[in-house]
A = this chain, B = another copy of it.
Amino acid sequence: MLLSEVAGKVGLTFSGHDLEIRGVNTLVSAGEGDIAPLLSPKHLREFVATRASAVLCDAAHADAAPAGRACLVSANPKLDWARIVTLFAKPQGCLTGVSSQAFVHAEAELGEGVTLYPFAFIGARARIGRNSTIFPGVYVGEDCVVGENATLYPNSVLMAGTILGDRVTIHAGTVLGSDGYGYAQSPAGHVKIPQVGHVEIGDDVEIGANAAIDRAALEATRVGAGTKIDNLVQIAHNVQVGRHCLIISQVGVAGSTKLGNGVVLAGQAGLRDNITLGDGVQVAAQSGVGQDLPAGSLAGGSPSMDAATFLKVGLTLPKLPELMRRVRRLEKALEAVEKEAGRE
């Protein structure tokens, strides 16, 4: 693709002469025919030394571009880089059409242009939207609804009644609609409360590999449109996740907890059940949140506190043993002073 085409498609102008762009690469590894981005000033050294034929950067760094390189100047290089990579990325997979080695229930419906790989299973009354792709080993249970242009990667599982919007991507091994963890206590042991709700995933949601989102006890566990969930995340029954949230790897959200829109949960954070996090809340990695958090708040620590305090606590904590010794010294010194005073 000519650089002029690339520029046209992402709506940028470029300096330098036009040339054929063969691929995208990092500043360090790029060579003849590659385009590479400067996404952080930290990489300025690699930028000035790159052998890429073309570069992408913001206006402030355009002058630093190596001589002779074509340069696309962007007001938002990361976003434009996403668009450029999209031009060169090819979707995964090597088959099209509906494999005769897949299982499709007689009462299931496949939209036009659906790709169904061998060993995929589509249950009764399930409906797969147009142009969606279902990889090997995927299970789509009865009464599921998958929107258009969805991608279900290998061995992902949609238990009965799961509903996915359009352009949803589910990575390999992820399970949607497994039973919520709900038991009543009886003298004979834990008695299962059957989980008769389901899972609803909004448009443009992406969910990483080997994650698990449980069906609701009743009604629905919901993930709002545009939310992105990383690998190995646990979303328990009845959780309500807002729109455009970012939930990083290994986070766990316990039952019935509600996240507003634009919430960010960093890696390995845990949220207890039945709490509410307002819009735009950000939670630091490994935090344990046990109570409601108002919109816009930043939290860290386990148990969590406001992020600024957590930062200070983190700096102070290593000095705790020394603090203990200092207090002991103070106590002794004060005792001496008191004795002294008493003697006088």
Neighbour of A324 across the interface among B142, B323, B337, CB < 8 A:
B323
**Does A295 touch B at the CB level, under 8 Å?**
no
With a cutoff of 8 Å between Cβ atoms, the chain B residues found around residue A171 in the complex are 175, 178-179
Contact B208 A178 (CB under 8 A): yes
Q: Please, what's the 1-or-0 string for A221-249, where 1 marks a CB less than 8 Å from any CB in chain B?
A: 00000101011101010000001101011
Contact A234 B234 (CB under 8 A): no
Contact A313 B323 (CB under 8 A): no
Copies of this polypeptide in the complex: 3
With a cutoff of 8 Å between Cβ atoms, the chain B residues found around residue A95 in the complex are 105
Contact B181 A208 (CB under 8 A): yes
With a cutoff of 8 Å between Cβ atoms, the chain B residues found around residue A181 in the complex are 208, 228, 230-231, 248-249
Neighbour of A330 across the interface among B81, B86, B196, B330, CB < 8 A:
B330
Q: Please, what's the 1-or-0 string for A80-118, where 1 marks a CB less than 8 Å from any CB in chain B?
A: 011101101100111100010101010000000000011
**Does A45 touch B at the CB level, under 8 Å?**
no
With a cutoff of 8 Å between Cβ atoms, the chain B residues found around residue A17 in the complex are none
- Inter-chain CA distance A61–B319, complex, in Å, is 44
Contact B172 A159 (CB under 8 A): yes
**With A231-B178, A313-B320, A338-B337 given, is the CB distance from A219 to B92 under 8 Å?**
no
Q: Which of A21-51 contact B (CB under 8 A)?
A: 24-26, 29
- Inter-chain CA distance A301–B309, complex, in Å, is 17
Contact B288 A285 (CB under 8 A): yes
Q: Please, what's the 1-or-0 string for A298-321, where 1 marks a CB less than 8 Å from any CB in chain B?
A: 000111010001101111111111
- Inter-chain CA distance A327–B309, complex, in Å, is 18
Q: How many A residues, CB 8 Å from partner?
A: 122
**With A254-B267, A314-B303 given, is the CB distance from A93 to B192 under 8 Å?**
no
**Does A65 touch B at the CB level, under 8 Å?**
no
With a cutoff of 8 Å between Cβ atoms, the chain B residues found around residue A139 in the complex are 135-137, 154-155, 172
With a cutoff of 8 Å between Cβ atoms, the chain B residues found around residue A124 in the complex are 94
**With A179-B171, A323-B324 given, is the CB distance from A137 to B118 under 8 Å?**
no
Interface stretch, picked from A1-9, A210-218, A275-283, is A210-218
Residue on B nearest A99 in the bound complex, by CB: B103
With a cutoff of 8 Å between Cβ atoms, the chain B residues found around residue A141 in the complex are 92-94
CB distance from A71 to the nearest CB of B (A): 19
CB distance from A66 to the nearest CB of B (A): 19
Residue on B nearest A136 in the bound complex, by CB: B121
Contact A119 B92 (CB under 8 A): no
